[in-house]
Amino acid sequence: MPRWLSFSLSPVRAPRARLALALLGLFGTGAWTAAQESQPAGNEDRVVSYPPVFFDRYQPNTAFDMVSQVPGFQLDDGNDQRGFGGAVGNVLINDRYPSSKQDTPSQILQRIPVTQVERIELIRGQVRDIDLLGRPVVLNLLLVENSAAATRWELSLRKNFQMSPLAPSGSISVSDRWRSMTYNVGVEGRRASFGNPGTRDVLDASGARVEQRLEDHEGSGFNANSYVTAAIDIGRTSLQINATLGLEERKEVLQTINVPEAPGGLPTNDHLVDERYNRQIEIGINAERRLSEDLVGTAILLHHELHQEPSSSQRRFDSAGDQYLFRLAETEAETTETIARTEFVWSKFTNHVLQVNVEGARNILNSALEQVVDTGSGPELVPVPGANSRVEELRGDILVIDTWSLGKYEFDYGIGAESSTISQSGDADQKRRFSFVKPQAAVTYASSPEQRIRLRLAREVAQLDFRDFVSATRFEDNDLALGNPDLRPESTWIAEVSSEWRWGDLSVLRAKVFHHWISDVQDLLPLDDAFEVPGNIGDGRRWGLEIEATVPLNWLGLSAARLDIRGRLQDSTVEDPVTGRMRVLSAAGGHKGDVDFRDENRYGLQLDFRQDLDTSRVSWGWNLAIRAERPLHKVNELDVYDEGANVDAFIETTRWLGLKVRLTGVNLLDIVDSRDRTLYGGARELSPVVSREHRRLTNGRRLLLTLSGTF
């Protein structure tokens, strides 16, 4: 009898056993030992270990292919939280987080061939000297020692049926050993070609169309990146180095024909061009040393530089083709981030692991904007208030946390503190100081290796986007995005309860209920009846439910098939600074192609189906992603963005010469990217509506052919 079954049928857990047996029809059966067979002794309840044979059915080529199929795990490439810990993602390699923020975990995993993977661990509690950074689950990729050299390559060709150009891309990486140092070196490049044709209807206050705008949005570009990762042991010190260098060029052209509805109205034409040139470099060094039998110390140094030269131009032509307006905005921005961090893990006392993290950071943004306008009498330099500034932040923080293992319980409790100074010079000249205390506590109860529940309470501080301090122009909306030198970071008290159930070696169900109390909500703050700035609008709340599941589909007669489910349902509230009424939190504006579960919207759902036909060595599947519309509340307008539902499908095989051949159909429904913009004569919802804009764009169905292999 399998271990999980004999445990669940104990008399005190009979109701739970009946529930588990009832769910088996949906989640399938199977022995837990397939994923547990190579676990370290004593960690059965905290580590789920997957040997390479577990992934054979998925025909993996890289470590990324393997990680993508770990049941109940969602790869996180990190985000813009403050400092190193919140930005490195949820993947470790040989017990260590990569000392990089720009070279994401998914990119690193795509350069590691499967032949170099010894096993994959899903870590759900304190083991060894690993810092979970407050997460309930992290993934640890363990590599084979002294593995043979391997070269990983990939070539892709994308065709958008709305455009004629093909978009090729390719990458190659080499993993090898030089003396006692292991290294991975890689380069990648991509030629982009895209288009978003559509229409924009301009309506008057009564809803009658007064103008139709026919839009043709096309773009092209190129980006190239190179990566180096190296690891070496020098005595008792393990040293890891990560370096990246990236270049990007991009040009987007929006041509609009404005056709008035009024009889005798003559069409006009707009021509907008956005160009950008970016180059970036990052280097990270991670040194780990066992200072004593019970003490491990780690030092991390990370430096990143990003140089940007974006420009926007607008030309307007009358019905005769004569230009009557020209505007040009050219920006030069330099962003740097330097982080120095030390971590100490002390395990002298039985069942206790004490961690102390100390971090210092310096962030700088230098931005300069020059705008020229010509209405027919010659070009004139037009100043943009707040556009030429230098913003600098010096920050230090400390975190002390203890992990106490007590039978089936694990307690994590600690306290952190941070202090920062933000100074701005140029168009705004001021200096401000902030300090926050950040306590945190979590308790995990593992009734068995298959079931666990976790309660967490913590305070987090958001990362400021320095671009919100600096003004910019938006020619498409004939608008000005003003910066706010008085912006302060929002802080959030987080309370969440999560639970995980596992059946067999594939079935997983994870659910989380959360509630957030937010101070100094970062949203849009009104200056007057026409302009707003990124600012703090008061206190707000956010609450909801997240579900993740992996479901085998044998019970439907689909052998070797699975469905991965991820869903989020949430609501929020904050007092609107314009109307004084309660409303939901604003979402990020603009086009957002992928479903982002960190977005402020009411729901999001992602379904991934996959079936692997072992005999024919063919796999196929589809993906469905859908989310709610995203409202953006401005002082005199309301923007609502919506992308509808996106469906992709793929088929892949490794039948020929050991190569993986994959054909993917992208955006098969040719979804409509919509924007509904309501403009008011004054304050939003307190003044009459003067006009509305309904924009509908399509991005085109695409085919992607990918060849990849290892030698």
* pLDDT for 11: 34
Give the whole-angstrom CA distance, residue 72 versus residue 63. Answer: 17
Residue 13 has phi, psi (to 5 degrees) of -120, 25
Residue 631 CB partners (closer than 8 Å, separation 6+): 584, 586, 587, 638, 639, 640, 641
pLDDT in tens, 651-704: 999 988 889 999 999 999 988 889 999 999 999 999 999 999 999 988 888 999
Residue 350 CB partners (closer than 8 Å, separation 6+): none
Residue 190 CB partners (closer than 8 Å, separation 6+): 167, 168, 169, 170, 222, 223, 224
* pLDDT for 517: 97
Q: In the chain, where does the domain assigned CATH 2.170.130 lie? A: 31-148
* pLDDT for 14: 39
pLDDT in tens, 148-173: 888 999 999 999 888 768 899 999 99
* pLDDT for 595: 62
Give the whole-angstrom CA distance, residue 656 versus residue 144. Answer: 27
Instruction: Encode 271-283: b = buried (16+ Cβ within 10 Å), e = exposed.
Output: ebbbbbebebebb
Q: What is the DSSP string of 23-64?
A: HHHHH----THHHHTTPPTT-TTTEEEE-GGGGGGG---BHH
* pLDDT for 227: 92
* Residue 462 DSSP class: P
* pLDDT for 86: 64
- Phi-psi bin for 588: left (phi > 0), alpha (psi -120 to 50), beta? beta
Asked if 314 and 323 count as a contact pair (C-beta separation under 8 A), the reply is no
Give the whole-angstrom CA distance, residue 461 versus residue 439. Answer: 11
Torsion 450-455-461-464 (CA) sign: positive
* pLDDT for 83: 67
* pLDDT for 393: 94
- Name the 3-class secondary structure at 9: coil
Distances in Å between the Cα of 132 and the Cα atoms of 77, 345, 479, 606, 656 are 15, 12, 44, 26, 41
Asked if 532 and 522 count as a contact pair (C-beta separation under 8 A), the reply is no
* pLDDT for 27: 43
Question: Which residue type is seen at 269?
Answer: N
Give the whole-angstrom CA distance, residue 141 versus residue 138. Answer: 10
* pLDDT for 596: 63
User: Which parts of the chain sit beneath pLDDT 50?
Assistant: 1-42
* pLDDT for 316: 93
Q: Count Cβ atoms within 10 A of the Cβ of residue 12 and give its class: 0-12 exposed, 13-18 middle, 19 or more buried.
A: exposed
Give the whole-angstrom CA distance, residue 530 versus residue 544. Answer: 34
| CATH class given for the domain over 31-148 | mainly beta
Rg of the chain, C-alpha, whole Å: 27
